[in-house]
């Protein structure tokens, strides 16, 4: 029977014996979470108090660090619904953890995606729970207005989603090519 990488994500196989190497995902996610929290702490302590108007330009203004409180989603969209995003981030974080422990994957690319998604969800969830529903954003790219203000957790979430999409697309294309080649040889 021929299976592909994506099938291994959904197949109901008995759990294999997993060594510590399987759980590197949680260590990596913890590192990204720590970086996110550290950058937020630096921002709050060096550019605060909130609303002070302080900012720092880097690379001749290509990147601006500015302390912003965001009650919306990534890149300051859908403002004023912090309870909704707290619920979504909580469910996503718990779901990712339970899925990975119960079922998971041995595919390193998918593991990377899991780590990035978990780190981003927990990073912003932490702010929502302990900072009155608002997330600390600090990075602004004035030359890319679509991004507004964001933080390390937002980057982690977006890299996780983009990588997941790219890996899935490329593997699907490769599988289709391989299946086409096999059927041509029959």
Percent of the chain with pLDDT over 70: 82
pLDDT tens digits, 63-92 = 999 898 887 765 555 666 667 888 888 999
In a domain, residue 18? The reply is no
∠ CA 163-168-172, rounded to 5°? 150
Checking if the pLDDT of 167 tops 90, the result is yes
In a domain, residue 16? The reply is no
Q: Write out the residue range of the structural domain in which residue 139 sits.
A: 32-185
Q: Which helix (H) or strand (E) holds 102?
A: helix 82-102
**CA–CA separation, 140 vs 151, rounded Å?**
9
In a domain, residue 37? The reply is yes
pLDDT tens digits, 16-45 = 667 767 889 999 999 999 999 999 999 999
Catalytic residues: 137, 154
In a domain, residue 20? The reply is no
pTM comes to 0.79
In a domain, residue 101? The reply is yes
Lowest mean pLDDT among 1-10, 12-21, 25-34, 135-144: 1-10
Checking if the pLDDT of 163 tops 50, the result is yes
Coil, strand, or helix at residue 69? strand
pLDDT of 2? 45
E strand segments, 29-183: 55-58, 63-70, 135-140, 149-150
Higher pLDDT, 142 or 115: 115
Count of structural domains within the chain: 1
Supply the DSSP string of 31-58, one letter for each residue: HHHHHHHHHHHHHHHHS-STTS--EEEE
Coil, strand, or helix at residue 20? helix
Q: How far is CA 134 from CA 17, 67, 104, 182, in A?
A: 41, 12, 31, 54
In a domain, residue 7? The reply is no
161 C-beta neighbours (distance < 10 Å), count? 15
In a domain, residue 3? The reply is no
């Amino acid at each position: 029977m021929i299976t592909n990488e994506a099938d291994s994500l959904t197949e109901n196989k008995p759990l294999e014996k997993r060594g510590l190497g399987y759980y590197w995902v949680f260590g990596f996610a913890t590192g990204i979470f720590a970086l996110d929290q550290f950058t937020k702490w630096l921002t709050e302590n060096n550019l605060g108090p909130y609303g002070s108007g302080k900012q720092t330009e880097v690379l001749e203004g290509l990147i601006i660090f500015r302390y912003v409180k965001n009650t919306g989603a990534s890149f300051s969209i859908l403002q004023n619904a912090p309870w909704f995003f707290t619920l979504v981030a909580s469910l996503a974080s718990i779901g990712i953890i339970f899925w990975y422990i119960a079922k998971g994957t041995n595919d390193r690319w998918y593991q990377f995606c899991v780590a990035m998604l978990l780190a981003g969800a927990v990073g912003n969830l932490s702010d929502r729970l302990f900072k009155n529903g608002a997330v600390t954003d600090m990075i602004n790219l004035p030359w890319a207005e679509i991004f507004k203000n964001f933080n390390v957790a937002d980057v982690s979430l977006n890299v996780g989603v983009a990588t997941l999409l790219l890996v899935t697309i490329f593997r699907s294309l490769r599988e289709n090519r391989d299946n086409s080649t096999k059927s041509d040889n029959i």
